[in-house]
């Protein structure tokens, strides 16, 4: 299997499959990003538009579970946007999970290397609360880090909340999210769960892309990573995230 074939295989998956590493045991992270980029090329060829990036594994707890010390990056396209109020397309998903996130909209280009949290935050136009739906193509969510990178960070869909505020008006380390499942609060976290400060995740994204000759562009969305653990989106369930200042986001499966 080569990069192009691996990307096409992941995009075509309609049922759970073994991780790529099962047949490609020496798959490394650099090759996995090449697969991710090739999958983006194929997505754009079929009409999707690149609109930003997402970070995954930004919390220390998730990194420890995966045995890594840095988040991963993945691409966002317009086909991943789930408008508010639209039911989750459960029939086309394998085993979806939802997690609350803080989302940046960039006002200007952000290019590394050397981007700090302060310079990253200065490039932000608005901050939103959001909910990401992740959906690994791999059986039982079992995969290595390169598998996850190749699978575009288990990306599926995301929804933005109703309120966008200037970053300067918020203390993002203290911005909280309450995660509710079927009317019961099951988890809570603040922005500090994301790399200590979500702007650190944004800076990391810019600096990581710079190693590949890329940058974060004006107008792009940046999903900074799950604030809590992801919860299953079972048929008939209702999952909501309630943010301190950024309103609420509700998903119905």
Domain residue spans of the chain: 3-252
pLDDT for residue 116 is more than 80: yes
Average pLDDT over residues 214-236: 95
Instruction: With a cut of 80, say whether residue 64 has pLDDT above it.
Output: no
pLDDT band, residue 102 (cuts 50/70/90): very high
Q: Which residue has the higher pLDDT, 131 or 71?
A: 131
Q: How far apart are CA 180 and CA 192, in angstroms?
A: 20
Q: What is the pLDDT of residues 127-175, one digit of tens each?
A: 999 999 999 989 888 888 899 999 999 999 999 999 999 999 999 999 9
Percentage above 90 pLDDT, the chain: 80
**More confident call, 91 vs 121:** 121
The answer to whether residues 252 and 188 touch, using CB atoms and an 8 Å cutoff, is: no
* Closest by Cα among 221, 222, 188, 217 to 202: 222
Q: What angle do CA 222, 182, 78 make, to 5 degrees?
A: 25
What does the alpha-carbon distance between residue 46 and residue 59 come to, in Å, rounded to a whole number?
34
pLDDT at 117: 97
Nearest to 220 by CA among 82, 53, 102, 84: 53
Residue 91 has what pLDDT? 82
| DSSP bridge pairs for 158 | 81, 132
Torsions phi, psi for 12 (to 5 deg): -90, -5
Provide the pLDDT for residue 133.
97
Residue 114 has pLDDT above 80, yes or no: yes
- Structure letter (DSSP) for residue 113: S
pLDDT per residue as tens digits for the range 16-62: 888 999 989 999 999 999 999 999 999 999 999 999 999 998 876 66
pLDDT class of 66 with cuts at 50, 70, 90: low
Length of the chain: 253
Provide the 3-class DSSP secondary structure of residue 93: coil
Position 16 scores a pLDDT of: 82
Mean pLDDT over the full length of the chain: 93
Which of 68-77, 127-136, 211-220, 229-238 comes out lowest in average pLDDT?
68-77
pLDDT digits (tens, 9 = 90+) for 172-204: 999 999 999 999 999 999 999 999 999 999 999
Q: Hey, how many other C-beta atoms are within 10 angstroms of the C-beta on 212? A: 12
> Distance (Å, rounded) from C-alpha 14 to C-alpha 12?
6
Binning pLDDT at 50, 70 and 90, where does residue 90 land? confident
pTM beyond cutoff 0.75? yes
- CATH code given to domain 3-252: 3.90.850.10
Over 70: is that where the pLDDT of 67 sits? no
Rounded to an integer, the average pLDDT of 5-19 is 85
């Amino acid at each position: 299997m080569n990069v192009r074939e691996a990307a096409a295989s992941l995009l075509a998956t309609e049922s759970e499959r073994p991780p790529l590493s099962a047949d490609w045991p020496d798959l490394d992270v650099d090759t996995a990003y090449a697969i991710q980029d090739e999958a983006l090329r194929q997505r754009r060829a079929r009409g999707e538009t690149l609109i930003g990036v997402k970070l995954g594994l930004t919390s220390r707890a998730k990194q420890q579970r995966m045995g890594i010390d840095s988040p991963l990056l993945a691409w966002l396209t317009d086909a991943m946007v789930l408008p508010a109020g639209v039911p989750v397309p459960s029939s086309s998903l394998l085993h979806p999970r939802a997690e609350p996130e803080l989302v940046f909209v960039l006002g200007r280009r952000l290019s590394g290397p050397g981007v700090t949290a302060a310079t990253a935050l200065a490039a932000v136009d608005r901050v939103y609360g959001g909910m990401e739906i992740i959906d690994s193509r791999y059986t039982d969510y079992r995969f290595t880090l390169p598998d996850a990178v190749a699978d575009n960070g288990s990306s599926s869909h995301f929804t933005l909340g109703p309120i966008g505020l200037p970053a300067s008006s918020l203390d993002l380390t203290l911005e909280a999210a309450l995660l509710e499942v079927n009317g019961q609060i099951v988890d809570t976290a603040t922005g500090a769960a994301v790399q200590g400060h979500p702007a650190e995740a944004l800076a990391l994204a810019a600096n990581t892309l710079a190693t590949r000759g890329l940058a974060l562009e004006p107008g792009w969305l940046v999903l900074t990573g799950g604030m809590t653990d992801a919860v299953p989106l079972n048929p008939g369930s209702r999952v909501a995230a309630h943010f301190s200042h950024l309103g609420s986001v509700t998903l119905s499966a």
